[in-house]
Structure 1
Amino acid sequence: MKVVKFGGTSLASAEQIKKVFQIVTSDSMRKVVVVSAPGKRTKDDSKVTDLLIACANGYIQGDGESYLDQVLERFEEIIRELDVDVMEQIRADLYEVVQGDKSDPAAYMDAVKASGEDNCAKIVAAYFRKQGVKAQYINPGVAGLIVTNDPGNAQVLPQSYDHLYKLRQEDGVLIVPGFFGYSESGRVVTFSRGGSDITGSILANGMKATIYENFTDVDAVYAVNPNFISKPAEIKELTYQEMRELSYAGFAVFHDEALIPAFRAGIPVHIKNTNNPQAPGTKIMHTRQHTNGPVIGIASDTGFCSINVSKYLMNREVGFGRRLLHILEDEGISYEHTPSGIDDISVIVRQQQLNEEIEARVVARITDELAVDSVAVERNLAMIMLVGEGMRSNVGTMARAAIALANAGVNIEMINQGSSEVSMMFGVKEEEEKKAVCALYEAFFLVV
């Protein structure tokens, strides 16, 4: 039995939904279909989820009707072209959710956001039935997908898996909306953005699927951002850890949290293209053959800053690191990396967490409470990650990367390597991100 998830571009129009139908019905093992909200039809189009977020903000402030009308128009166009009779139900559902309780804005936002996936699932189920296939819409709450009450960042609760296993008793194709579950008190709570991938992985785990297929709009996971490199190498196989590292560092093809449920259940993930389903795609599994050299992929992301702290004999001061991180915790700041030396330590954080007011307070607290020699914040950094389990057994990867960056004239602001030796990270100025990525790609993928 396969769990199959389709992303927003795969459901952006009636034409795309017809492709989804053909893909699902071409394989009798595809019993569970997880759907996203309709995505962009063209480059300049809007995603339904973005329209719903604007709609919710509008209604919280007193006027969101124009955005609601746009959402209704999107659904109405799809329904008309599929010739299914669900528009009145969709309209009623959307009106009900936007008129809901706004006393808790975060909870209200989650309810409105989730309606994109929820109503798309109802449309897809109706189309399957119209084509003569036994199919039913499955509400995540009815199915028992219970999550933490953390709006916009829900985490699945363990009891969900036992509940979801019972779905195996249902006949026909099950159409399940992605992106959200229900709290123990019965409220809709969404995963982080792009969380339909997470729903699919949770269902694959709970229902003990043979494989989790994730259909998107690319033939495979590429070794590097195709916006930086024309026709980059396709990756045929990845381990869970490699994909997790690449997703974290900027690969948008798969949500970085989505691998956890599949990994824990040992379920392979297969990424494929809705518009080219015959393409081999990329398989994600526990182990793979290391036949491609030390590096399997290069990812990058911007929007980081570094808090650089220096203090003579820092290494002899018991508890220094704990007290430094405690200051960040007090200020509600999560950290990403902490490269360090004997007299200095850098804490890499997402820049959006550190506005001018918070930065000034953090610097003052570190200076006063830790009696440091200096503290400085360096903004506008990009993090570039080399990923590959082959690095564990390969000598000279760091030198090869550093030479490539030096030859390209890129200054390295920071280097960090995890203890697993599966990834190696370089910090550079944001304006040098593309140049650095291209230099590294040439060094590891174009040199024989």
Structure 2
Amino acid sequence: MKVAKFGGSSVANAQQFQKVANIVTSDDARKFVVVSAPGKRCKDDTKMTDLLITLAKKVIEHDIYEGVLAQVVARYDEIVTDLHLSRDILDVISASLQQMIDTYRDQPKRLLDALKASGEDNNAKLMAHYLRQLGYEAHYVNPKDAGIFVTDEPGNAQILPESYEQLAKLKERSGILVIPGFFGYSRSGHIVTFPRGGSDITGSIVAAGVGAELYENFTDVDSIYCVNPSIVEHPCQLRELTYREMRELSYAGFSVFHDEALEPVYRRGIPVCVKNTNNPEAPGTMIVATRDHRDRPVAGIASDTGFCSINVSKYLMNREIGFGRRLLQILEDEGISYEHTPSGIDNMSVILREEQLAGDVERRVLDRIVKELRVDEVSIERDLALIMVVGEGMERSVGIAAKATAAFARANVNIEMINQGSSEVSMMFGVKADAVEKAVRALYEVYF
């Protein structure tokens, strides 16, 4: 029994729908199908989710929204027409979108979540409809009926434990079950979405709930690459990764998986296979609990930009009990999450997403640090990029860090900071954003 999740590029148009149907029906074990909203049909296209966010903003701002609503319906119209489906389903889609607008027009967060979720929801209805038209028993299953219940945090839903018991009952149903990704329902009955990229999370939750033997995640690449192919041409393909390696790489910028998506399957030891909808015969990349890393201690290199560092210095800081806690409490009070906290005996840095210091937040944070902690110096370093070198084999391999620092030196890239967790699954390097691609290419040369 398998759960197959198809990303936005896999369900972007009628041609992709046909590929998905061929994949699903070619293996009787693929009983559960999770779909995303339609992705880009070409490079310059707009994703359905982005269209829906634009629609929500128009409504919230009391702007004319009918034109965007027509664009949304037109995307589904194209799929319905090209697949020769009944046009009645378009009337249902159009009416449901208008009902959401009318119901939540004065509740911005609810409206945004409901409209975002509709992208996946309507696509799941179309996919089930298409499979039935091909002669297969297929059913659309609403997340509420599936038992996907979540916390009531708009845009940041977390699965509730009781959901897994409900999901297990899906095994008793017949036919192919098509479930929309990206959202669940709160106990009070509201639609609540997972963080962006949350269809991966839904797929993982369903796989864990039904006890699948394999969770297949179909996307638009043959496998996971060890580095971003837009930075390094023709990088190595990875045949196997561990859950922990994939989690680290996802966090640091790998777009294949949302970084929260693996948790449910990781807890239950369900292997994941990342495969290509456009080339389903390719073996893909397996994500498993353990792998043989003797020949390749480093699994991958990931990078992301948009970070900054708050740097704090105070003489005898290490003797001041509670200093770090009070510094982080200031950030917590402002609703700011942090990524890393490298420190020395008299200094401490907090790495965070730069966007979190927008508006007056930066001034308030710096003022509080100066007044409450009585520091000698405080400054902000902007335009930072984080590069992660990831691999479970690094712990038992000598010279991994030396190779990295030598590579940076040869590429004439200055290291702003270094951080390594106690697990030794990853090393983090901070560099200026304008040097990140040069640094990544240098690391690729020494490790791969």
The residue that corresponds to 1:404 in the other structure is 407
Contact 2:225 2:238 in 1 (8 A): yes
The residue that corresponds to 1:240 in the other structure is 243
The residue that corresponds to 2:59 in the other structure is 59
Amino acid at match of 1:71: V
Q: Describe how 1:384-403 pairs up with structure 2 within 5 A.
A: 384-403=387-406
1:309 and 2:312 correspond: yes
Q: Describe how 1:147-162 pairs up with structure 2 within 5 A.
A: 147-162=150-165
User: Shift in Å at residue 359 of structure 1?
Assistant: 1.2
**TM-score, normalization by structure 1:** 0.98
Aligned equivalents of 1:152, 1:281: Cα separation in 2: 31
The residue that corresponds to 2:103 in the other structure is 100
Aligned equivalents of 2:244, 2:122: Cα separation in 1: 34
Q: Secondary structure at the match of 1:416?
A: strand
Question: Deviation per CA, 1:278-307, whole angstroms, max 9, x where unpaired?
Answer: 111000010001143321100000000000
Aligned equivalents of 2:217, 2:354: Cα separation in 1: 31
Aligned equivalents of 2:57, 2:160: Cα separation in 1: 29
Q: Describe how 1:127-146 pairs up with structure 2 within 5 A.
A: 127-146=130-149
- Between 1:312-321 and 1:382-391, the stretch displaced more is 312-321
Contact 1:218 1:272 in 2 (8 A): yes
The residue that corresponds to 2:374 in the other structure is 371
Q: Secondary structure at the match of 2:307?
A: strand
Question: Deviation per CA, 1:397-424, whole angstroms, max 9, x where unpaired?
Answer: 1111001001100000010001100000
Q: Describe how 1:272-421 pairs up with structure 2 within 5 A.
A: 272-421=275-424
- Between 1:247-256 and 1:349-358, the stretch displaced more is 349-358
The residue that corresponds to 2:81 in the other structure is 80
Q: Secondary structure at the match of 1:16?
A: helix
Question: Deviation per CA, 1:103-149, whole angstroms, max 9, x where unpaired?
Answer: 22111100011000000000000000000000000000111110000
User: Shift in Å at residue 100 of structure 1?
Assistant: 2.1
The residue that corresponds to 2:257 in the other structure is 254
The residue that corresponds to 1:31 in the other structure is 31
Contact 1:238 1:282 in 2 (8 A): yes
Q: Secondary structure at the match of 2:104?
A: coil
Amino acid at match of 1:296: A
The residue that corresponds to 1:17 in the other structure is 17
- Where does the alignment leave 5 or more consecutive residues of structure 1 unmatched? none
Contact 2:60 2:106 in 1 (8 A): no
Aligned equivalents of 1:197, 1:322: Cα separation in 2: 34
Contact 2:392 2:425 in 1 (8 A): yes
Question: Deviation per CA, 1:341-384, whole angstroms, max 9, x where unpaired?
Answer: 11111000000000252112111111111111111000110000
The residue that corresponds to 1:3 in the other structure is 3
Contact 2:315 2:346 in 1 (8 A): yes
Aligned equivalents of 1:83, 1:160: Cα separation in 2: 36
Question: Deviation per CA, 1:244-292, whole angstroms, max 9, x where unpaired?
Answer: 0000000001111000000001100100000000111000010001143
Aligned equivalents of 1:70, 1:363: Cα separation in 2: 45
The residue that corresponds to 1:68 in the other structure is 69
Contact 2:323 2:373 in 1 (8 A): yes
Aligned equivalents of 1:168, 1:425: Cα separation in 2: 43
Aligned equivalents of 1:318, 1:205: Cα separation in 2: 43
The residue that corresponds to 1:263 in the other structure is 266
Residue 202 of structure 2, aligned match among 188, 199, 209: 199
Alignment size in residue pairs: 445
Q: Secondary structure at the match of 1:100?
A: helix
Q: Secondary structure at the match of 1:384?
A: strand
User: Shift in Å at residue 95 of structure 1?
Assistant: 2.0
Question: Deviation per CA, 1:72-105, whole angstroms, max 9, x where unpaired?
Answer: 1100000011111122222222222222222221
Contact 2:201 2:261 in 1 (8 A): yes
Amino acid at match of 1:106: K
The residue that corresponds to 2:176 in the other structure is 173
Contact 1:141 1:181 in 2 (8 A): yes
Contact 1:19 1:275 in 2 (8 A): yes
Aligned equivalents of 2:446, 2:398: Cα separation in 1: 15
Contact 1:54 1:67 in 2 (8 A): yes
